[in-house]
Amino acid sequence: MELRVSALRPFLGFLVLLLTPLSNARFVVEKNSLRVTSPDRIKGTYDSAIGNFGIPQYGGSMAGAVVYPNSNQKGCKEFSDFGISFQSKPGALPTFVLVDRGDCFFALKVWNAQKAGASAVLVADNVEEALITMDSPEEDGSSAKYIENITIPSALIDKSFGETLKRSISSGDMVNVNLDWRESVPHPDDRVEYELWTNSNDECGVKCDMLMEFVKDFKGAAQILEKGGYTQFTPHYITWYCPQAFTLSKQCKSQCINHGRYCAPDPEQDFSSGYNGKDVVLENLRQLCVFKVANETKKPWAWWDYVTDFQIRCPMKEKKYNRECANAVIQSLGLDLKKIDKCMGDPNTDSDNLVLKEEQDAQVGKGSRGDVTILPTLVVNNRQYRGKLAKGAVLKAICSGFEETTEPAVCLSGDVETNECLDNNGGCWQDKGGNITACKDTFRGRVCECPLVDGVRFKGDGYTTCEASGPGRCKINNGGCWHDAQNGHAFSACTDDGEVKCKCPPGFKGDGVNSCTDIDECKEKKACQCPECSCKNTWGSYDCSCSGDLLYIRDHDTCISKTASETRSSWVAVWVILIGLAMAGGGAYLVYKYRLRSYMDSEIRAIMAQYMPLDSQAEVPNHVNDERA
């Protein structure tokens, strides 16, 4: 109850006693499951309630080790003041911090834990009760700043489970848990239905600013999803009604249309100045009609354009929050103004407005959803979304609503990055240089998976090892083989002819992995040993020069004369070689012919033998070759 009222207050102002929400609202707690994986004694699945800030990993799960701090157990102060850090060591499980409820905002506890390096926060309730949703504090300048920056998920657990965890930790157990959001949004098919319960009021403080920012940010993704037929989005607006006894009061007249049937609180909470609740109801109605008309013309996404343009062009601050300004926006978007006016009807009649009546009916939850009482509220596949109202977080929730493998590309793009890889590389493997990593950001949470780099597949567990494997791995880090460069000459011991091996290149000796050392060809008398030669070793090779007018021929490791007669004799040598080659080729051909023939003979005989017994040297008819074909 405390929760519901505090969430509504920015909108209702002091009218909270006068205007009545449609029904006795049920606030729905969205749960995720928490599985203890060790120790065995307390293994099992427990309920936890997703906090309404931070970034729950919709569609994913997250494993961690639970830590209960020795001091600052409520998490209301900075953990660094107590010398406590939750940063996990590379390769270790992320830290889930357990704190107790009480003394300060839930969000502050989570913020303090995040700053100390926690990856998630479990808040243990301090009274025995059914789980509630941890909401963000109502508008309050200082908390608004850090709430924006909370990126870790949080969950409330009940008192007795909290005590079980604490007992286990204090007895020295390593408590590992898995937070799982995979079933938090149903994902039955390849289309996601979602609703945003919103408001055109742009002057209600932090929550309105956040809502407007969200709509602006999310518009692009929403339109891609809608145009692709991946989603069916519907905007909704909450209205209240004026109790019968007050319909003729000044307050109800200024806050309501249709004789007290549809009301909104005064934006400035001041009846005598500025805009009235009635103006907000009318603009909400207009936005609903914009959606209806746009939807009829098969362009439902035009609603996102209208509301963002209206926010920019017609703010209350500039006294432009009115019909004229709205109509200008409608016309510039090419929407049918007449149809929209018709849809809005006459606000002064004493009868129902069909559009707003439908909205009031929809406010009441049917089945699993629960009534909508918090503004803004996002409902995905008929489940209320919990978490920060920000593009990445919301997109993640929507994406988790698709049946697996049917999610559209926008779900797999950078828009839904979890940034978990930025923190300790997500606990995944990375190479020493730090530019090859097994951490992959997806909307289902981070996964540790050995990567494919420049066409080279890495293999391993993704957490502690990944090794380049298969062809091409010489490109990556020289395949783990020795390599070195000096004076502009680079050598690698990696050889890749189908199979990758470390083998010192010519001119070097060694194991090829840790070291290859230069061979001193001169000292070891491997080359350049002719009487006219003078040898000079270089790194990886040698230089040889010949005395006098002689020329060093490297291939033959010898010195020859550069004069013309030598040239002629070399031509003779070329001819001799060519003739030799031709003769060898002819001989080889004859041998080949003979072998082919005898091979075919034996083949044919083998086949014929299957049909008839052959005399040892029987004549083989020529055409058998053709028949075989």
Ligand X SMILES: *[C@@H]1O[C@H](CO)[C@@H](O)[C@H](O)[C@H]1NC(C)=O
Q: Which residues in this chain contact ligand X in the complex, by CB under 6 A?
A: 145-146, 148-149, 234, 292, 295, 300, 433, 435-436, 453
3-class DSSP assignment, residue 106: helix
Residue 284, Cα to own-chain centre: how many angstroms?
34
Name which of 158 and 305 has its Cβ closer to ligand X.
305
Name which of 276 and 381 has its Cβ closer to ligand X.
381
Least gap, CB of 233 to ligand X (angstroms): 9
Name which of 146 and 246 has its Cβ closer to ligand X.
146
Least gap, CB of 531 to ligand X (angstroms): 47
Name which of 234 and 545 has its Cβ closer to ligand X.
234
Q: What is the DSSP letter of 34?
A: E
- Element at 603 (helix H, strand E): helix 564-609
Name which of 315 and 480 has its Cβ closer to ligand X.
480
Q: Which residues of 93-103 are buried (b: 16+ CB within 10 A; e: fewer)?
A: bbbbbbbbbee
Name which of 434 and 498 has its Cβ closer to ligand X.
434
**Using CA atoms, how far apart are residues 128 and 327, in angstroms rounded to an integer?**
54
**Using CA atoms, how far apart are residues 573 and 232, in angstroms rounded to an integer?**
84
Least gap, CB of 595 to ligand X (angstroms): 51
Name which of 29 and 289 has its Cβ closer to ligand X.
289
Least gap, CB of 146 to ligand X (angstroms): 4
Radius of gyration of the chain measured on its C-alpha atoms: 39
Name which of 273 and 435 has its Cβ closer to ligand X.
435
| Dihedral Cα 611, 612, 617, 620, nearest 10 deg | -50
3-class DSSP assignment, residue 404: coil
Least gap, CB of 477 to ligand X (angstroms): 7
Least gap, CB of 399 to ligand X (angstroms): 22
Least gap, CB of 483 to ligand X (angstroms): 12
- Residue 247 exposure: Cα atoms within 13 Å on the Cβ side: 12
- Element at 192 (helix H, strand E): strand 192-198
What does the angle CA 440 – CA 443 – CA 446 come to, to the nearest 5 degrees?
35
What does the angle CA 193 – CA 194 – CA 196 come to, to the nearest 5 degrees?
160
Residue 614, Cα to own-chain centre: how many angstroms?
74
What DSSP string runs through 351-386?
Answer: S--HHHHHHHHHHS--TTS----SSSEEEETTEE--
Least gap, CB of 148 to ligand X (angstroms): 6
